[in-house]
Structure 1
Amino acid sequence: MQLILRYFLLSVTMLPAIVTAEIKLPLPEITIPKITEEVQRETDSDQDFQPAMPHAKVGPIYPIYYARKKKEGWVDLTFSVEKDGSISNVLVTNDSGGAQFVTEAIKAINRWKYKPALEFKQPVQSNIHNQRLTFKFDRDKKIREKVYEFYMQGLEFIEAHDRDGMDEIYEQINDLNFRKYGEKDFADVYTLNYASHIDDSDLYLSTLKNIELVSIIVTFPDLWAELAMEKVKLLAEDHKLAEALSLLNHIEAENSKTIEQTRLLSSREQLNQYIESDIDLVIDGKTNKLGIWQHHLARNHFAITNLEGKLESLDIRCDNTRRLIDIDGNSEWQIPKKWRNCVLYFQSEKSAQFTLIEFATRKIV
């Protein structure tokens, strides 16, 4: 944490310019997390399966109403690629707010084309395709002056050990309505500094848990790798081991000079040992504002317990298989090992929370 904080205090980074079409309402930039496309291809050692490859992508149309209001945002989606390369089963998993952003994002994704995945040299449906589409303008001032001034003033208060000033900035910067893409990153980075300085580990961990690495890599590129490594550790502590491994792959693919190769190898070895251990993985789950909770499976035998609320369905999406399950009274499942690299999407009409257990190999019959 101390290494990260030294970077925090030395790094003051504004958002880089974005290349947009020369029209009155510019097309938004599409941000594609490498963790879900490029890294997966690099780390897949099974030659019997070849992931789908992007063939043609188009950007979403910026909603006119939001453009006039200078409203920016993002939409996270997951989808399947069919045997003919077309898109299906589009599911919005999260968004920054704005129904028109969601509508245009779905329209854009449905126009994309892929070269289909191959299994034993035959086309198959593939289902692990996660994308974030961002809607933002090319602008001279990358974030509002108010956000930047709060951030800079807060760092000055931290360096001066001015507790009253730090407290005031913490309240002010987190009370803002973040209208421009990337503004929340400045609030989060300041909050991490603040929490560390006042020794508030709960605030530090809760902020780290919710920080958006997909935008931090743009707004604070010098901090991203260290923050990502901190998040790998946090994911492991929360028993989200497959997600931690995926993030580790992403860090390695970025070739960050701040992370030594031995550190990456050690982390990977520890995660794999944990996955293969006889310890059951216990994960807290809670559906978000869209009624969705997702989890990347490390094992193929799992169950839910301590359910509060009602779950409508379970959407299991794997590299080569998809199953939509009506939960009803079922609470335990075991999926075939040939279902590769699976992600669970629990869906509820209203908020629901529960405990997910991934059973150790010794319990698989």
Structure 2
Amino acid sequence: MKTTDTHRILLMLSALLCLSKAAFADPPSTEKKLPCDKLSEEVVSDTDENTVKSISAFKPAQIVKRKNPRYPKSAAITGTEGWVKINFVIDTDGNVQDPVISDSSGNKAITRAAMSAVKRWKYSPAIKDNRAVQQCYNEVQLDFTLQNQIGASGKFITKYKEAEKAMTAGDMERAEKLIEAMKENGGGNRYENAWLWALDASVASTINDLRRELRSIDRTLASSNTHQGKYQTFDDEQIKSLYQRKFVLHLQFNEFSSALYTVDKVKKLANGEDILAPLNSYIEKINSLIQSEQNIIVKRSLSDEGKNFHYLVRNKFGFTKIEGQLDSVEVRCDSHHEKFTVALDHTWNIPESWGSCRVLVEGKAGTAFSLVELGNT
């Protein structure tokens, strides 16, 4: 891409708000290892206050069999690369249970290959106080890359510039059609996909579709090779802008846990302090709000697959304004994993001993709802 194109996209991503931001996807080997039982809570309740007793000795599950997924022939033939994020539970026998696609580059063959591989993985189970326990929250990103797939093809650049020209001219209908055609064309390499999703984010920002913009910025960074050190898709200033923009968008949607998670990711970057400098006052306000009595209302909708994830910042929540059908809510916490049906008049009160929680809401695709995190009283 030419430098002028780079700066043009950067400006478009930043147009709606002054700040910009995005979160890197975890590398393929990254997994969060957490137990899924209530043993710690039981030990504490049975221990005299004047007695010191070991709460737990937790040994994370260890991989025994982890075969890489087969690269789909249809994707290899067309030079298509991609990635898939999956989170799952490891049961007491070391088997993968309840795998869920949290996001992907969009290629169906690649997504199927990733899911098929993860389901066959085998672990030695997590051990806590000499007994096998579930390891509740595990998340991994599987990357599908081909050799010598660096830079953009002439064909891609031509189509990209055509879509960019339509957007610049204000012909958003044509820009949308061109972008969708590029997505449906089977995808490209990671570098091309990163630029395509960046352009999609620009269009979304222009038409004020902030939810789509947030999703597209996520996919821009997940598709880029910046965090892998293979080929730098975006320069440091662009990365800084994307991180800041995503932080702001999370605030727009009251997704405070996701905003703070992004902050933790940024802190690990070499230029993290520079990125966070203009955000520090907002971070303080978020932490203050979380501790307040004010309810936090998060408006969400289910994906085409009928799913939606949300990270909680409080241990009490419920649902309101359901427009459609919600079937279940699955709570995946540091130390517990449980699934419930959904009722409008019910409040979920998650024990603090369960730790940080992520909820998976499932139901009819497109269902809109508000998740309310109840204030501290």
Q: Give TM class, smaller chain.
A: 0.7 to 0.9
**Residues 204 and 212 in structure 2, CA contact (< 8 A), matched pair in contact too:** no
CA RMSD, aligned part only?
A: 4.1
Which among 180, 183, 186 is matched to residue 195 of structure 2? 186
**Residues 209 and 231 in structure 1, CA contact (< 8 A), matched pair in contact too:** no
The SS at the match of 1:177 is helix
Distance 1:84 1:51 in 2: 14
Which among 266, 290, 300 is matched to residue 285 of structure 1? 300
- Quote the offset at 1:340 in angstroms: 1.3
Say yes or no: does 1:220 pair with 2:234: yes
Unaligned residue ranges in structure 2 (runs of 5+): 11-23, 35-54, 227-232
Amino acid at match of 2:223: S
Amino acid at match of 2:26: P
The SS at the match of 1:88 is strand
Which among 136, 149, 152 is matched to residue 143 of structure 1? 152
1:138/1:232 Cα in 2 relative to 1: closer, same or farther (>3 Å)?
A: same
Unaligned residue ranges in structure 1 (runs of 5+): 13-30, 42-46
**Residues 174 and 187 in structure 1, CA contact (< 8 A), matched pair in contact too:** yes
The SS at the match of 2:254 is coil
Moved more, 200-209 or 229-238: 200-209
- Quote the offset at 1:129 in angstroms: 1.8
Distance 1:167 1:270 in 2: 37
Aligned counterparts, 1:319-330, within 5 A: 319-327=334-342
Other-structure match for 2:13:
none
**Residues 313 and 326 in structure 1, CA contact (< 8 A), matched pair in contact too:** yes
Distance 1:221 1:38 in 2: 27
**Residues 308 and 362 in structure 2, CA contact (< 8 A), matched pair in contact too:** yes
- Quote the offset at 1:235 in angstroms: 0.7
- Quote the offset at 1:132 in angstroms: 2.7
Other-structure match for 1:174:
179
Distance 1:105 1:336 in 2: 34
Say yes or no: does 1:88 pair with 2:94: no
Q: Deviations over 1:266-299 (max 9, x none)?
A: 5543322221122211111111011101101111
Q: Deviations over 1:246-272 (max 9, x none)?
A: 111111123336735655655543322
Other-structure match for 1:202:
208
- Quote the offset at 1:191 in angstroms: 5.6
Aligned counterparts, 1:234-253, within 5 A: 234-253=249-268
Q: Deviations over 1:165-196 (max 9, x none)?
A: 99799457524323114334313434666788
Amino acid at match of 1:108: A
**Residues 316 and 343 in structure 1, CA contact (< 8 A), matched pair in contact too:** yes
Say yes or no: does 1:347 pair with 2:362: yes
Aligned counterparts, 1:95-114, within 5 A: 95-113=104-122
Higher relative contact order (CA 8 A, sep 6+): 2
Size of the alignment, in residue pairs? 329
**Residues 305 and 331 in structure 1, CA contact (< 8 A), matched pair in contact too:** no
Q: Provide the TM-score with structure 2 as the length reference.
A: 0.70
Amino acid at match of 1:324: K
Amino acid at match of 1:132: Q
Distance 2:210 2:171 in 1: 15
Distance 1:107 1:34 in 2: 19
Which among 250, 274, 279 is matched to residue 289 of structure 2? 274
1:147/1:290 Cα in 2 relative to 1: closer, same or farther (>3 Å)?
A: same
Other-structure match for 1:164:
169
1:355/1:163 Cα in 2 relative to 1: closer, same or farther (>3 Å)?
A: closer
Moved more, 305-314 or 222-231: 222-231
The SS at the match of 1:79 is strand
Which among 14, 26, 46 is matched to residue 33 of structure 1? 26
Distance 2:200 2:107 in 1: 26
Aligned counterparts, 1:41-60, within 5 A: 52=60, 55=63, 57-60=66-69
- Quote the offset at 1:303 in angstroms: 0.8
Q: Provide the TM-score with structure 1 as the length reference.
A: 0.73
Distance 1:298 1:242 in 2: 6
